Structure formats: C-alpha cells, structure tokens
Amino acid sequence: MQCGAAVKTFDRIAVEDLTDEQAAAELERLAAEIAAHDRRYYVESAPTVEDAEYDALRLRNEAIEARFPGLIRDDSPSQRVGAPVAEGFRTVRHARPMLSLQNAFDPDAVHEFVARVRRFLSLGEDEPVEMVAEPKIDGLSISLRYEKGRLVLGATRGDGTQGEDVTANIRTIGDIPSRLKGDAPDVLEVRGEIYMRRHDFRDMNEAREAAGEPLYANPRNSASGSLRQLDPSVTARRKLRFFGYSWGEISEPAGDSQWAFLERLKAWGFPVNPLVRRCTSADEALAFYREIGEARAGLDYEIDGVVYKISRFDWQERLGMVSRAPRWAIAHKFAAEQAETVLERIEIQVGRTGALTPVAYLAPVTVGGVVVRRATLHNEDEIARKDVRVGDTVVIQRAGDVIPQVVSAVPAKRPKDSVPFVFPDRCPACGSLAVRQTDPETGTQDVVRRCTGGLICPAQAVERLKHFVSRAAFDIEGLGRKHILAFWEDELIKSPADIFRLKNRTDALESREGWGRQSVTKLVDAIEQRRTIGLDRFIYALGIRQVGEATARLLARHYGTVGAWMEAMMGALDPESPARRDLIAIDQIGPSVAEDLTAFFAEEHNRRLLDDLLSEITVTAVEAPQATSPISGKTVVFTGTLESMGRSEAKARAESLGAKVAGSVSGSTDYLVVGGKPGSKATKARELGVTVVSEEEWRELIGG
Ligand code: IVH
C-alpha cells in the first residue's frame, strides 16, 4: 500500500533521472505548490515568490509531464480550468454546470468543426449552418440568477460545478440590472463575462502604485481580484463591466436560437457585445476572425479569441456535449501577441531569498494595446541559450496572463559592436558573492544564482521584511513596500522585531512627511493586533527557503510549540542526529528542505534575530492532527452527494484527521464513503474489496 510510506521531495533530482515513483511525488508536490502560488497571485494579489522561481516550478512540472505523460494529475496546473474557490465566500452549486469550450488554434480546426457538426446532424450539402460569432472576452464568467425578475444570486464559475456566492459584489456593478425589464421567465440564469476596461485597469494600477500596493498583472486578474473582495464597497470602486452571452437554468424555453436569445438579453437590460455577427459557413466565420483580430488592439477590453456557436437551439440540444464542453461551440484563439523592440539594458533584481533575476528594460512598445517597458529574461541560462544582448532588437510576447517575455533576439538587426551578456557573480545590491549551488548528490546546478549576503544585503532585508508582514505571514495592514523601504533606509526598522518596537518611536513616525497622529496610531494598532501569532504563520514569516505555507503548517503540527521546534532545529544541525532523522521522516519533508531549515539555524544572526523577535511576541501552539483517529493514514474516496456537508468540507475534515483523500478508487483505497446517487465507484470498490461505508457510518467513524 502506498499511503503508509512517507512522501519525500525529490526536487533536486534532474528530470531525466527521476524514477516513476519520484516523478509522481514531484508532480504532487508541484501541483500543490503552484496552486498555492496561483492563489496568492490571482486571488489575493499578494505573490510570495519571485517570477523566476515560479517559472522554474512550472517548467519543471511541464518537463516531468512530458517525460511521464501517464502521471499527469487531474489537479496539475497544466490541466486546470478556472481558478480555485476563494476562502470567505459561501460555496454554491450551479443549477446547471458552467461549461468550458473546446479550442481551435488554426483555420483547419474551424473547417473541421463545421464539417463535424454537419456530419453529426446529417445535414444536406446545401443546408446553411447558421452560427453566431462572438468575441471571446478575457474576463471571468459569472452566473446571474433572477427569480421573478429580481436578481437573487451571482456566482463565479469556480470549478464549473460549484462557485462562490458573490451576490453582494455583483449588485455594485452598474451593467448588471437588479430587476429585469419587460417579460422574463420566473427563473432565469444569465451567464456572461465580467471584465475591466483597459483604461480603467491602467488608472487603477497607477493609483495602486502610488499607494505602494501590489499591481495587478492584467485586466482579467484585476476583474477577478476585484470581484472577490470580501468588502463590496471595494468592488464598487473598481468599475467592473459585463457582457451577457448565454443561459443556465431557465423556467421557459429560451427561444429558438442564440441570435434571438442575444436580442432577448438586450431587451431584459443586459449589455451584449456589439461586434457579434451571424455567419453561415466556416469561411465567413474566418473572415470575422480576421476582422476582429485587426480591431483587437483598438478595443478598450481584452479579448483572446472568437467563439463560434451553432445558433439553432434544437441543433445545440442534439449536438450535446463532450467532456464538459458543448459540441455546438468552439473557441478560436488568437496567437500570442508579439512585437519587436530594442533591449536597452538588463537589470538584475534581488529577491527575498537572494535570487538574482534578470529583467529586460525595453524601448516602450505596444503589444496588443498595452505598452510594455519591461519583460522577464527568466535566468542566466536562458539569456545564454537565447544569446540575448544589450542593444539587440528582440521579439517580445504577451501570452495571455503572463508577464511579457523575451522570446528571442533578431540577429540580423544586431549592432556590430555587441557583446554577449555577462551575468554578474556579485550581488548588485550589496556586492557579496552570488553563487549557483550544485547539488552534491546529483551534481545538477541550480538555475538560480543567489546572493550570499543574507541580512547584510539591503535588497534581501527589505524583501524579507515585506514577506514578514505579508498576508499569510504576520498580516500587518498598512505596512506596504514603500513604507518598509523608507523605514529601512531611515533605520526605523532593521529587523522584524523592530516592527514591534515602532510604538516607542511614534514621535519619529509622526514627524515624517505624509504621516500624522491618526495614521501612526492606526499603524501601531495594526501591529499590536499581531503580537500574538500561530506557530505555522510564524515559521512561514521567517522566509526560510522552500518553507512555504504548507511546509510551515506541517512543521507547526509536528512540533507543536515554538520552543520544541527551535530545539529540534538546533538538534538537527548535525546531519547524523536523531533530530535530523525525525525531521526528514515528516511526511512531505525531504532532505533538501531539512538542509534549508538547518542552514537557517546554523547562522548566528538568524538565531539572534529569532531571540530578539520572541522577546516581543507570543507564538501560540498549533494542535497536531489526532494521530489516534481511526482514519489517520488511511486513503479515503467520496462518491455521491453527501447530506450533512459539502464535498470540500468532508475532504477538509478527513484531512484534518490525518487521512488522504483520493479522487478515484484503486487497490490502495481504504474506505469509500457513499452518499446519495453513487456512481460506478461503489461497484468498483466492491470488486476490489474496499470497505464501503455509508455517510452515517462515516460520521460515526470520525466521531460525529
Ligand atoms: S460561451 C457553453 N461565449 O470563455 C458556453 N464564453 O473558454 C460556454 N468566454 O468559461 C461559454 N467570451 O468565461 C462563451 N462570448 C463568449 C465568451 C465566453 C468569453 C469565456 C467564458 C468561458 C470561457 C471558455
């Protein structure tokens, strides 16, 4: 059985050298880590890693999947549709699932789509196939439920089956009627896209920059972030817009065709995209695609393709679905937008963990309507591989949501006197040596070069302080990047403990430009509220390499108190010690994480920093999961609808009791919990001799 064995990380082993088992473990770790980063970036707009590190995780995930296609996980970042459900909103089940679309990337695929529809419906050669072609809005989809003409629910797409109840926020959007005009069905779910206009996005980011707040990457993320604010008054200020295009549950027939339905949407008071067009052949659809492609840069909202929909509803019904996407529609995506410009200089940025990240500064160029001045060059090896040089004309690309990238240099336009870029081996912020570590076991070199200056490096110090106060760590409101930098420069905050001593420096604070008694009191209050913190957040806040939120939680649960944890870490400095063995034996903590943890404790300045900090704050213990629970260490699968709780709650509960929750039944399953309307899983479980329990038996097992 798999589940009893401790899962180790194999992150230092080159992809070519991974065994099947190691690859599976790596894919599991990467899926969880990338999902956590995505959530911080997209949902909370508070990323905690540098781009280069994030890119490296994704690239590794891709490379492992390419070598082991059979191990691709359902929850892999490469398979994910939509964003995870944010915490803090009620989860709602969609009355009818919110579907996704099949994609076409070239004209052949569009011809094939129309031909397939014809074959499926056995249409005669002369029979026209009316389609509605619509711009594919790059926003987030939403389901709006009206009962007797009044808006009663607004829900995000979520995973397509259940999303978040964002009704209060939806009510702040001017484009969305709270009462329908004219005659409307008693129950009507209107589906469409919430988006932010480009100019509103730019204005908002400018204001955020001025306030020292993190910037949103693009209008889609900002629309999504704005809609998921727990405080509707924040959403109200964000200028969100809406286009309707479809329906979910409806108590009367929706009409005859998509074209007619769009007309009804307008009559009920919804905005419908003005560029929609009727087409009757693949060629006409493709002409529309080209036209929209040309108009794209001039539109005040982002689109990422065109959607073709078979218009007749009776045909749509006959065509049905294939794997959560309708057979009657297809999204024809635009290629990534590229442009040429001159690379003026390469700057090296230094992050919290000392990672040196190269950033390309470009002659400003418009790519798909957005002015781009900077792009990522990923890392030293990428610059060498692409031989990108200062002065080169380079091709840059914006692919969907990511930060612009430098794709390649254009050698024909290279200045004669150009020289290859030499990556510095000294930190640009503090002058310390910057090195690339080699893994002693595998001999592979880290792609990232790091500054060895630790806390004497101003860049690292400020980045670490920022991390320390960030949302998942100490969560101190009102202490943004700008303030930390200024306080650090003026020596008001040199180390984390200084933050908690700011209350003794209120005179110095009040005399600063832009500060007054009130704002200082507010800041000091926010700090005071965080003087007590849970051990998991505390460990995460220290910003130790590879110790993200999940790892910090594991450590906190294992060691319980801050005293026990610190003592164990000191004991583990000796690689042969029982304490080190105990550390490595924790499920999901491997030798390389242990190495980073002990390296942190081996530094005297870190130990001093901890002592100093602990003299200011109180760290509360975290309860370990009940090891005595009968399901601890067991693998559990849920099937069917549970009466007493939602699926995610059941999963969280089981995990908190130490069980592993799997999606499908296999030989290693210990329990299958069956709710109402179970599917084929129950049959399979019985065949495999897996213990099948009812929801009630399950509740008894876990103690009510
Ligand atoms: S139709 C079955 N129409 O694209 C109907 N979707 O990749 C599914 N989208 O989740 C949606 N503009 O968020 C449709 N005119 C449009 C759209 C559109 C944008 C989004 C929508 C959907 C995603 C699928």
Q: Is 545 in the pocket of ligand 1 (CB under 6 A)?
A: no
Give the domain ranges of the chain.
Answer: 15-79, 93-333, 338-413, 439-623, 635-701
Atom of ligand 1 nearest to the CA of 136: 12
Task: Indicate if the pLDDT at residue 87 is higher than 70.
Answer: no
Phi, psi of 150 (to 5 degrees): -110, 140
According to DSSP, the residues that pair with 361 across neighbouring strands are 345, 374
602 and 573 Cβ atoms separated by less than 8 Å: yes
Helix, strand or coil for residue 70?
Answer: helix
- Please give the Cα distance from 617 to 533 (Å, whole number): 8
- Please give the Cα distance from 501 to 100 (Å, whole number): 52
Classify 633 in phi/psi space as left (phi over 0), alpha (psi -120 to 50) or beta: left
- Please give the Cα distance from 280 to 136 (Å, whole number): 19
Name the band, by pLDDT with cuts 50, 70 and 90, for residue 433.
very high
439-623 classified as CATH 2.60.40.10: no
Tell me what pLDDT residue 480 has: 82
Tokens of 271: 């905005």
- Please give the Cα distance from 220 to 195 (Å, whole number): 6
Task: Indicate if the pLDDT at residue 401 is higher than 50.
Answer: no
The CATH number of 15-79 is: 1.10.287.610
Instruction: For ligand 1, pick from 101, 313, 317 the residue to mutate: most ligand atoms within 8 Å of CB.
Output: 101
Tell me what pLDDT residue 41 has: 63
Phi, psi of 553 (to 5 degrees): -65, -40
Q: Regarding predicted confidence, which is higher, 337 or 107?
A: 107
Residues of the chain above pLDDT 70, percent: 92
Type of residue numbered 590: G
Q: Name, in order, each residue with C-beta under 8 angstroms of 152's C-beta and a sequence gap of 6 or more.
A: 145, 146, 167
**Most confident by average pLDDT, 60-69, 149-158, 203-212:** 149-158
Task: Indicate if the pLDDT at residue 70 is higher than 80.
Answer: no
Nearest to 247 by CA among 202, 290, 192: 192
Nearest to 561 by CA among 585, 533, 597, 535: 535
Among 114-118, 191-195, 221-225, the range scoring the smallest mean pLDDT is: 221-225
**Most confident by average pLDDT, 102-111, 278-287, 393-402, 464-473:** 278-287
Q: Regarding predicted confidence, which is higher, 700 or 261?
A: 261
C-alpha angle 413/416/420, rounded to 5°? 90
- Please give the Cα distance from 141 to 81 (Å, whole number): 12
Task: Indicate if the pLDDT at residue 187 is higher than 50.
Answer: yes
How many angstroms is it from 142 CA to the middle of ligand 1? 10
Atom of ligand 1 nearest to the CA of 276: 15
Q: Is 146 in the pocket of ligand 1 (CB under 6 A)?
A: no
Q: Is 137 in the pocket of ligand 1 (CB under 6 A)?
A: yes
CATH superfamily label, 93-333: DNA ligase/mRNA capping enzyme (3.30.470.30)
Task: Indicate if the pLDDT at residue 342 is higher than 80.
Answer: yes
Tokens of 632: 């601890």
Give, using CA atoms, the residue closest to atom 22 of ligand 1: 100
Q: Cα Rg for the chain, rounded, in angstroms?
A: 28
**Most confident by average pLDDT, 47-61, 291-305, 659-673:** 291-305
Tell me what pLDDT residue 587 has: 72
427 and 449 Cβ atoms separated by less than 8 Å: no
What are the C-alpha distances in Å from 554 to residues 26, 44, 286, 468? 17, 22, 53, 19
Tell me what pLDDT residue 540 has: 94
The mean predicted confidence, pLDDT, of the chain is: 87
Give, using CA atoms, the residue closest to atom 13 of ligand 1: 141
Nearest to 153 by CA among 172, 170, 167: 167
Q: Is 330 in the pocket of ligand 1 (CB under 6 A)?
A: no
3-state percent breakdown (helix, strand, coil) of the chain, nearest 5: 40, 20, 40
Q: Is 226 in the pocket of ligand 1 (CB under 6 A)?
A: no
Helix, strand or coil for residue 277?
Answer: strand
Task: Indicate if the pLDDT at residue 126 is higher than 90.
Answer: no
What are the C-alpha distances in Å from 312 to residues 132, 255, 318, 534? 10, 9, 10, 58
C-alpha angle 557/559/565, rounded to 5°? 130
- What's the pLDDT tens digit per position in 582-616? 898 887 788 888 988 999 999 888 899 999 999 99
556 and 479 Cβ atoms separated by less than 8 Å: no
According to DSSP, the residues that pair with 137 across neighbouring strands are 303
Mean predicted confidence (pLDDT) in 372-388: 91
Tell me what pLDDT residue 326 has: 93
Give, using CA atoms, the residue closest to atom 12 of ligand 1: 136
- Please give the Cα distance from 641 to 395 (Å, whole number): 51
Atom of ligand 1 nearest to the CA of 157: 10
Tell me what pLDDT residue 79 has: 60
Task: Indicate if the pLDDT at residue 640 is higher than 70.
Answer: yes
- Work out the number of other CB atoms within 10 angstroms of the CB of residue 161: 12
- Please give the Cα distance from 160 to 523 (Å, whole number): 41
Tell me what pLDDT residue 616 has: 96
Angle in degrees, 0-180, between the axes of helices 198-210 and 219-227, rounded to the nearest 10: 70
How many angstroms is it from 100 CA to the middle of ligand 1? 7
Task: Indicate if the pLDDT at residue 131 is higher than 70.
Answer: yes
Name the band, by pLDDT with cuts 50, 70 and 90, for residue 652.
low
Task: Indicate if the pLDDT at residue 6 is higher than 50.
Answer: no
Tell me what pLDDT residue 43 has: 57
Instruction: For ligand 1, pick from 275, 307, 317 the residue to mutate: most ligand atoms within 8 Å of CB.
Output: 307
Q: What is the pTM of this model?
A: 0.51
Mean predicted confidence (pLDDT) in 9-31: 85
Tell me what pLDDT residue 632 has: 80
Pairing between β-strand 187-196 and β-strand 337-350 as defined by DSSP bridges: unpaired
Q: Is 329 in the pocket of ligand 1 (CB under 6 A)?
A: yes
How many angstroms is it from 632 CA to the middle of ligand 1? 42
Nearest to 268 by CA among 190, 192, 195, 172: 190
Token pair 């009630």: residue? 696
Q: Is 331 in the pocket of ligand 1 (CB under 6 A)?
A: yes
Tell me what pLDDT residue 74 has: 67
- What's the pLDDT tens digit per position in 441-451? 778 888 899 99
Task: Indicate if the pLDDT at residue 562 is higher than 50.
Answer: yes
Q: Regarding predicted confidence, which is higher, 162 or 85?
A: 162
Tokens of 335: 């290629």
**Burial class for 119, CB neighbours closer than 10 Å (0-12, 13-18, 19+):** exposed
How many angstroms is it from 218 CA to the middle of ligand 1? 18
CA–chain centroid gap for 80, Å, is 10
In 17-137, where does DSSP find H-type helix?
Answer: 20-38, 51-67, 107-121
**Burial class for 355, CB neighbours closer than 10 Å (0-12, 13-18, 19+):** buried
Tokens of 625: 């999961």
Helix, strand or coil for residue 313?
Answer: helix
Phi, psi of 537 (to 5 degrees): -65, -40
CATH topology of domain 338-413: OB fold (Dihydrolipoamide Acetyltransferase, E2P) (2.40.50)
Task: Indicate if the pLDDT at residue 139 is higher than 60.
Answer: yes
C-alpha angle 485/491/493, rounded to 5°? 65
Task: Indicate if the pLDDT at residue 85 is higher than 60.
Answer: no
169 and 233 Cβ atoms separated by less than 8 Å: no
- What's the pLDDT tens digit per position in 409-430? 999 999 999 999 999 999 999 9
Q: Is 195 in the pocket of ligand 1 (CB under 6 A)?
A: no
- What's the pLDDT tens digit per position in 237-261? 889 999 999 999 999 999 999 999 9
Instruction: For ligand 1, pick from 81, 103, 132, 136 the residue to mutate: most ligand atoms within 8 Å of CB.
Output: 136
Pairing between β-strand 671-674 and β-strand 691-694 as defined by DSSP bridges: parallel
Mean predicted confidence (pLDDT) in 385-393: 95
How many angstroms is it from 160 CA to the middle of ligand 1? 12
Mean predicted confidence (pLDDT) in 361-388: 87
Please, what's the b/e burial string for 221-256 (b: 16 or more CB within 10 A of its CB; e: otherwise)? bbbbbbbbbeeeeebbebbbbbbbbbbbebeeebee
The CATH number of 635-701 is: 3.40.50.10190
Question: DSSP state, 288?
Answer: H
395 and 343 Cβ atoms separated by less than 8 Å: no
How many angstroms is it from 115 CA to the middle of ligand 1? 22
Instruction: For ligand 1, pick from 98, 137, 247 the residue to mutate: most ligand atoms within 8 Å of CB.
Output: 137
- Please give the Cα distance from 230 to 670 (Å, whole number): 39
Task: Indicate if the pLDDT at residue 550 is higher than 90.
Answer: no
Mean predicted confidence (pLDDT) in 503-516: 90
- Strand (E) or helix (H) holding 694: strand 691-694
Q: Is 245 in the pocket of ligand 1 (CB under 6 A)?
A: yes
Token pair 């040199």: residue? 494
**How far is it between the farthest Cα atoms of the chain?**
85
Q: Name, in order, each residue with C-beta under 8 angstroms of 97's C-beta and a sequence gap of 6 or more.
A: 160, 161, 324
Residues of the chain above pLDDT 90, percent: 49
Is residue 136 part of the annotated active site? The answer reads yes
Tell me what pLDDT residue 218 has: 79
How many angstroms is it from 136 CA to the middle of ligand 1? 6
Mean predicted confidence (pLDDT) in 474-497: 90
How many angstroms is it from 135 CA to the middle of ligand 1? 9
- Please give the Cα distance from 661 to 651 (Å, whole number): 6
Tell me what pLDDT residue 77 has: 76
Task: Indicate if the pLDDT at residue 81 is higher than 50.
Answer: no
Task: Indicate if the pLDDT at residue 634 is higher than 90.
Answer: no
Helix, strand or coil for residue 476?
Answer: coil
Tell me what pLDDT residue 36 has: 80
Phi, psi of 556 (to 5 degrees): -60, -40
